């Protein structure tokens, strides 16, 4: 019996060790095959590329903001440069006045400085003048180069950060200035921009983006980038880079996530380490297997020798327990068991196995039964140590009998670390296979040995399609040999390569990838694998293209916008044109487009603009550029090799095309015209900005000449533009300087002779030109949007005078002329309401006069504003009636209370034998007004004969020099005493 026990124990031990060893080898090899090939590159890919995409999108948004802010400031600088070009002899006061207006439109501009012949001659604000005035840029080496660059270029030059002469640092935008009259260099304009304000605005306006950003710049491609703004340390943190092309230089944005990169970096040696670890692991398993087998054999040999068994049991390094096979009581524990569990021998032998095993009682009983009956002798359990820590253990249990007592002999191994490694490997294998990024692994000969599911999803190739093939199976043909040669040279030298590449899917579609290639080497430094990780960036590329299109093309028509037009014009100016070559820029403004847009809505207006674009495009030839600047403004750029005849021919074709009827959706027909202004290089202009400015001036001249025609730019227009510019500057100050005054002309009841109202007529006491009527300045006021301030002053001043008369018991109406621009302003109703409230005047006695054309050109906005004014009790009169549309249809549509017959019709009925046709027209106007319940005022009555005829025709009221010329307020009081015999 004693000889049988060792034999049985030896057999059981060998079988148990062999089963465990084979199981461990199979698990280890399976996990290695599934996982080792993918662990590191997935860790690198997990979040890093997603973060890159987010950072890149944020940087593109920031780039758009910066370019917008810089462009807006450049537009202001260009405006001042143009002003100087038109006024080469301007004074410091005129410079400061104009510069102040520009600086009020931007918080980024610190100061302006104009250097005539490179010596600073004009500055604003004048507080920096003491430091800068008289400075010769030849004496400032740090800024001389950028001044020279600006002087030699027809575009702005941006430099910085620059140490300012007056102290501090800033960006400086310099623009060369040419004397527009003599076409000679004048000097350079410097616009100093606040770095912090400019970039803080750019990085904080709109939605805050979760990135850290730095901005670097350089003037030449041969120079290195230098920090301009942000955190310089970003440069060392593998940032995403987006470049920006700006005037005379290049900037780039560097960005990283707000809280840094989270992705795990690629470690190429992980493959070699995986092989080494697997080797060590299998070696350890084999060693433990041999040790276990030897130990089991020794148990069989010495179990009959209790002393020898106890000695081995006690001193063995493996954790060993003897358990009661039925109850699970711990009968004995060796020293290693005491050290592992943390209990002394006495405590352990007083415990049951259930006290340290975390499984349920029923599960433990089942395990004890299986071990006792030899159904199973290998288990994985969780054992709790004295410290409370739970460890994963591998238990080999075999039944033995000692002294007729049936026991379970258990050998216990701590496998917590091994199971954790296996768990991570299994997890990584699943992640590798389920990753959305494509993964491709080749051997040292560049033959594909493994791909993941992401690879198949992106390329369309399944694993069987590509295994054993060269990656060139994906080649799109877009890259030449030099590209791939450079790529593989970088892989060989640095062990990795990353960049954008175009590849081809299985279905033949070519698409962009963001690809990362890494090298895996063995201990000898030999290449064993290449690993490529890539993602499809088609959507990102589409987004970038849309951003570029938005920046350079009109969203409605798809035509080049102002930015792209300027670029193409500059390119055209640099082209050789030959002895007779010229560049013509034609500025087009549609006539009557606003009428169509207001009458039928913006959708119809947009459709009309598209059709206009198509017709214009059909008139172009190869090499021409058609651009839309916005609204109803277009530009045609053409290189010509003849005199003005070529431009005349094209202009006539354009006018003819625009005059043809446009058939729009919904059965709407539209009839429009076009006014064209033409400027030529080198006849009229020396650069892009002058071409556009001078063509614009010529276009306005064409509009004044009757519209639907064309005009060439000439020097006289420069004088006119200069006068307008000067007049606009003076107009902006006239209200503040109290140079405006209202004159009043009475309106008389033609039956009673009583004064029933007055018309307020504006006069400007110009400091140099004397008293001016609106005829001399109202067009400029409307063009420059100064009309709103002037109208506000007129309405408020008139209401204040009206209140004074009402307080004196004089209940007369006050008529005030308003501009078409006022009816297009949605805040005009509020302006009138505030004036009435501020002065306390009765709104029933206030009357606003508008022209017929105002209603036609602003139908939608005019109707809304007039209805709001009528609701407040304000009267509406049509001034100069008969000179416009004169339709009962539109008179019925608007809340009009009075018609004023134009003086043109009155002057022809003054003789004893009046023009019968004119009398009939006036009679028809009076009858129309009566039928609509409107009052009638005849303007321009100068004789009693005219008064008598009008009275016979049924005209109610009259106005003219017969009663009084326009007089100031202090003189009008005398006229209120006119008797009825008048």
Checking DSSP bridges between strand 935-939 and strand 898-901, what pairing results, if any?
parallel
One domain for residues 842 and 956: yes
Q: What is the mean pLDDT of residues 908-917?
A: 71
Q: What is the mean pLDDT of residues 870-895?
A: 78
- The dihedrals phi and psi of 520, each to the nearest 5 degrees, come to -115, 125
Is the omega angle on the peptide bond into residue 181 within 30 degrees of 0, that is, cis? Answer: no
Instruction: Give the least confident one: 189-198, 263-272, 313-322, 624-633.
Output: 263-272
Q: What is the pLDDT of residue 5?
A: 40
Among residues 500, 518, 542, the one where a domain terminates is 542
- Looking at the DSSP assignment, which residues form a beta bridge with residue 321? 333, 410
- The dihedrals phi and psi of 846, each to the nearest 5 degrees, come to -100, 130
One domain for residues 410 and 484: no
Both tokens of 27, joined, read: 């698990």
Both tokens of 763, joined, read: 């006069």
Is the omega angle on the peptide bond into residue 682 within 30 degrees of 0, that is, cis? Answer: yes
One domain for residues 415 and 511: no
Interior/surface letters 301-321, b for 16+ CB within 10 angstroms, e for the rest: bbbeeeeebeebbeebebbbb
Both tokens of 585, joined, read: 């820029």
The CA-atom distances, in angstroms, between 20 and each of 24, 179, 202, 395, 640 are: 6, 96, 66, 10, 92
Q: How confident is the model at residue 8 (pLDDT cuts 50, 70, 90)?
A: very low
d(CA 568, CA 483) in angstroms, rounded, equals 31
Please identify which residue in the block is written with the tokens 């280890």. 28
Instruction: Give the least confident one: 31-40, 411-420, 557-566.
Output: 31-40
Question: Given a cut of 80, is residue 943 above it in pLDDT?
Answer: yes
Nearest to 377, CA basis, from 392, 356, 355, 394: 394
Using the 8-state DSSP alphabet, how is residue 440 labeled?
Answer: E
Q: Cβ atoms within 10 A of the Cβ of 660, count?
A: 10
pLDDT in tens, 311-345: 677 778 888 999 887 888 998 999 999 999 999 99
One domain for residues 13 and 147: no
* 871 burial type by CB count under 10 A (0-12 exposed, 13-18 middle, 19+ buried): exposed
- The dihedrals phi and psi of 370, each to the nearest 5 degrees, come to -65, -40
Question: Which positions ≥6 away from 190 have C-beta within 8 Å?
Answer: 112, 113, 114, 115, 172, 173, 174
Q: Quote the domain boundaries for residue 351.
A: 4-35+270-420
Both tokens of 586, joined, read: 């034609």
Question: Given a cut of 60, is residue 259 above it in pLDDT?
Answer: yes
Which stretches does DSSP call E strand in 249-288?
249-257
Question: Is 730 a domain residue?
Answer: no
Question: Given a cut of 90, is residue 433 above it in pLDDT?
Answer: no
Q: What is the pLDDT of residue 9?
A: 43
Q: Is 955 left (phi over 0), alpha (psi -120 to 50) or beta?
A: beta
One domain for residues 713 and 758: no
Q: Give the CATH number of the domain where residue 609 resides.
A: 3.30.70.270
pLDDT in tens, 46-72: 667 778 878 888 887 778 788 778 877
Kindly state the percentage of the chain with pLDDT values over 90.
32
One domain for residues 479 and 353: no
One domain for residues 855 and 899: yes
Quote the radius of gyration of the chain (alpha carbons, Å). 46
Both tokens of 20, joined, read: 């465990």
One domain for residues 575 and 677: yes
Q: What is the pLDDT of residue 327?
A: 85
Nearest to 675, CA basis, from 692, 654, 644: 654
One domain for residues 367 and 513: no
Question: Is 226 a domain residue?
Answer: no
Question: Is 791 a domain residue?
Answer: yes
- The dihedrals phi and psi of 242, each to the nearest 5 degrees, come to -125, 125
Question: Is 894 a domain residue?
Answer: yes
Q: How confident is the model at residue 476 (pLDDT cuts 50, 70, 90)?
A: very high
Higher model confidence: residue 433 or residue 123? 123
d(CA 517, CA 534) in angstroms, rounded, equals 9
How many structural domains is the chain composed of?
5
Q: What is the mean pLDDT of residues 606-623?
A: 95
Both tokens of 562, joined, read: 């102002």
One domain for residues 833 and 854: yes
d(CA 925, CA 881) in angstroms, rounded, equals 9
Q: How confident is the model at residue 608 (pLDDT cuts 50, 70, 90)?
A: very high
Question: Is 97 a domain residue?
Answer: yes
Q: Give the CATH number of the domain where residue 774 resides.
A: 3.20.20.450
One domain for residues 557 and 679: yes
Question: Is 199 a domain residue?
Answer: yes
Among residues 205, 220, 239, the one where a domain terminates is 205
Question: Is 378 a domain residue?
Answer: yes
Question: Is 726 a domain residue?
Answer: no
Q: What is the mean pLDDT of residues 125-148?
A: 82
d(CA 691, CA 701) in angstroms, rounded, equals 15
Q: What is the pLDDT of residue 921?
A: 86
Nearest to 940, CA basis, from 965, 914, 915, 923: 965
One domain for residues 784 and 874: yes
Edge-to-edge, what's the strand order for the sheet holding 157-163?
119-124, 109-116, 184-193, 169-179, 157-163
Question: Given a cut of 50, is residue 302 above it in pLDDT?
Answer: no
Cβ distance 499 to 493 under 8 Å?
no
Among residues 718, 745, 780, the one where a domain terminates is 718
Q: Give the CATH number of the domain where residue 94 resides.
A: 3.30.450.20
pLDDT in tens, 664-716: 998 899 999 999 999 999 888 888 888 988 998 899 889 988 889 999 998 88
């Amino acid at each position: 019996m004693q000889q049988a026990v060792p034999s049985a124990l030896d057999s059981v031990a060998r079988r148990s060790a062999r089963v465990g060893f084979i199981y461990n080898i199979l698990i280890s090899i399976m996990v290695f095959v599934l996982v080792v090939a993918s662990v590191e590159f997935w860790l690198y890919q997990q979040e890093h590329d997603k973060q890159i995409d987010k950072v890149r999108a944020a940087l593109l948004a920031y780039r758009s903001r910066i370019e917008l802010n810089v462009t807006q400031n450049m537009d202001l600088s260009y405006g001042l440069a143009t002003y100087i070009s038109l006024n080469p002899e301007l004074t410091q006061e005129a410079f400061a006045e104009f510069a102040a207006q520009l600086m009020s439109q931007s918080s980024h501009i610190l100061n302006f400085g104009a250097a005539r012949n490179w010596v600073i001659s004009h500055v604003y604000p004048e507080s920096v003048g003491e430091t800068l005035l008289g400075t010769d840029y030849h004496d400032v080496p740090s800024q001389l180069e950028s001044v020279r660059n600006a002087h030699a270029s027809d575009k702005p030059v941006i430099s910085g950060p620059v140490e300012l002469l007056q102290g501090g640092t800033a960006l400086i935008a310099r623009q060369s200035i040419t004397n527009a009259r003599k076409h000679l260099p004048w000097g350079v304009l410097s616009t100093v921009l606040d770095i912090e304000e400019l970039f803080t605005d750019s990085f904080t306006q709109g939605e805050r983006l979760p990135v850290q950003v730095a901005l670097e710049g350089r003037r030449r491609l041969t120079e290195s980038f230098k920090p301009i703004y942000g955190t310089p340390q970003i440069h060392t943190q593998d940032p995403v880079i987006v470049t920006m092309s700006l005037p005379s230089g290049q900037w780039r944005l560097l960005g990283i996530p707000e809280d840094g990169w989270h992705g795990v970096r690629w470690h190429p040696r992980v493959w070699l380490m995986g092989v080494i670890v697997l080797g060590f692991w299998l070696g350890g398993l084999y060693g433990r297997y041999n040790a276990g087998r030897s130990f089991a054999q020794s148990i069989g040999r010495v179990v009959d020798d209790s002393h020898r068994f106890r000695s081995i049991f006690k001193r063995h390094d493996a954790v060993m327990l003897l358990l009661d096979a039925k109850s699970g009581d711990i009968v004995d524990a060796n020293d290693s068991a005491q050290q592992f569990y943390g209990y002394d021998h006495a405590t352990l032998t007083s415990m049951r196995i259930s006290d340290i095993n975390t499984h349920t009682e029923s599960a433990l009983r089942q395990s004890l039964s299986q071990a006792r009956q030899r159904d199973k002798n290998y288990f994985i359990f969780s054992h709790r140590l004295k410290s409370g820590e739970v460890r994963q253990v591998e238990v080999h249990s075999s039944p033995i009998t000692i002294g007729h007592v049936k026991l379970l002999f258990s050998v216990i191994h701590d496998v917590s670390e091994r199971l954790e490694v296996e768990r991570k490997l299994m997890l990584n294998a699943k992640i590798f296979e389920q990753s959305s990024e494509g993964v491709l692994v080749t051997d040292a000969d560049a033959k594909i040995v493994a791909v993941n599911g992401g690879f198949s999803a992106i390329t369309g190739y399944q694993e069987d399609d590509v295994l054993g093939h060269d990656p060139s199976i994906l080649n799109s043909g877009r890259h030449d040999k030099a590209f791939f040669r450079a790529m593989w040279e970088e892989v060989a030298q640095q062990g990795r390569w990353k960049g954008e590449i175009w590849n081809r899917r299985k279905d033949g579609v070519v698409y962009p990838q963001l690809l990362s290639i890494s090298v895996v080497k063995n201990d000898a430094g030999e290449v064993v694998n290449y690993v490529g990780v890539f993602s499809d960036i088609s959507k990102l590329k589409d987004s970038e293209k849309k951003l570029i299109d938005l920046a350079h093309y009109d969203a409605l028509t798809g035509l080049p916008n102002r930015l792209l037009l300027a670029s193409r014009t500059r390119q055209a100016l640099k082209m050789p044109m030959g002895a007779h070559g010229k560049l013509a820029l034609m500025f087009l403004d549609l006539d009557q487009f606003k009428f169509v847009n207001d009458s039928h809505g913006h959708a119809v207006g947009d459709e009309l603009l598209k059709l206009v674009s198509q017709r214009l495009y059909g008139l172009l030839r190869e090499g021409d550029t058609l651009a839309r600047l916005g609204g109803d403004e277009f530009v045609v750029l053409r290189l010509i090799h003849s005199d003005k005849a070529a431009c005349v021919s094209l202009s006539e074709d354009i006018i003819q095309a625009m005059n043809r009827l446009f058939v729009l959706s919904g059965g709407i027909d539209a009839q429009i015209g076009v006014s064209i202004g033409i400027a030529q290089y080198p006849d009229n202009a020396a650069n892009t900005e002058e071409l556009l400015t001078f063509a614009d001036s010529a276009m306005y001249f064409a509009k004044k000449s009757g519209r639907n025609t064309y005009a060439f730019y000439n020097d006289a227009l420069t004088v006119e533009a200069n006068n307008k510019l000067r007049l606009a500057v003076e107009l902006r100050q006239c209200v503040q300087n109290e140079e405006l005054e209202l004159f009043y002309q009475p309106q008389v009841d033609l039956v009673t002779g009583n004064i029933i109202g007055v018309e307020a007529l504006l006069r400007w006491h110009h400091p140099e030109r004397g008293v001016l009527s609106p005829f001399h300045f109202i067009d400029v006021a409307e063009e420059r949007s100064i009309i709103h301030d002037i109208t506000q002053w007129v309405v408020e001043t008139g209401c204040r005078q009206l209140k004074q008369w009402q307080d004196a018991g004089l209940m007369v109406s006050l008529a005030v002329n308003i501009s078409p621009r006022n009816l297009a302003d949605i805040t005009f109703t509020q302006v009138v309401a505030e004036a009435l409230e501020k002065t306390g005047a009765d709104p029933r006695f206030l009357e606003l006069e508008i022209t017929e054309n105002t209603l036609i050109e602003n139908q939608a906005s005019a109707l809304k504003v007039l209805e709001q004014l009528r609701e407040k009790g304000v009267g509406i009169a049509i001034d100069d009636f008969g000179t416009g549309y004169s339709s009962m249809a539109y008179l019925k549509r608007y809340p009009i209370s009075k018609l004023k017959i134009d003086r043109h019709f009155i002057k022809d009925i003054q003789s004893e034998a009046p023009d019968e046709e004119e009398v009939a027209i006036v009679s028809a106007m009076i009858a129309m007004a009566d039928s609509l319940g409107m009052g009638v005022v005849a303007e321009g009555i100068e004789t009693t004969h005219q008064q008598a005829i009008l009275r016979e025709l049924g005209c109610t009221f009259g106005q003219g020099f017969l009663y009084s010329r326009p007089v100031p307020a202090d003189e009008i009081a005398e006229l209120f005493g006119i008797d009825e015999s008048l």
